[in-house]
Amino acid sequence: MDTDLEQMSREQLVEEVKSLRQGIRQHRDSSGHELCWHHPTLWGLLPEKTDPIPLVPDWPQFMQGCVRYRQSLDEQAPDAPRTNEPYEE
């Protein structure tokens, strides 16, 4: 799957690592409502150029997942700052 790496020079590998790190940092630094979004830009850093159609849960199951995700933030980051900013497009 990652045989392309074997063909890269050291300089190309360094550039690849920098690009991947930037993508990870951008995702890591997502905050607020950005946490809930589909992230094709991050997946676009992979060499395989596919655009998979996500399996989208029906609304009730989707909302259960959102609630569970938010609960996990309380568990994993109980001291993180909170906001009451509304979602705006």
* Alpha-carbon span 28 to 74, nearest angstrom: 17
- 32: tokens are 């607020």
Other beta carbons within 10 angstroms of residue 20's beta carbon come to 13
* Alpha-carbon span 81 to 72, nearest angstrom: 15
- 78: tokens are 């109980």
Note the pLDDT tens digit of each residue in 29-58: 999 888 888 888 888 999 988 878 889 999
What is the residue extent of each domain of the chain? 3-76
pTM of the model: 0.75
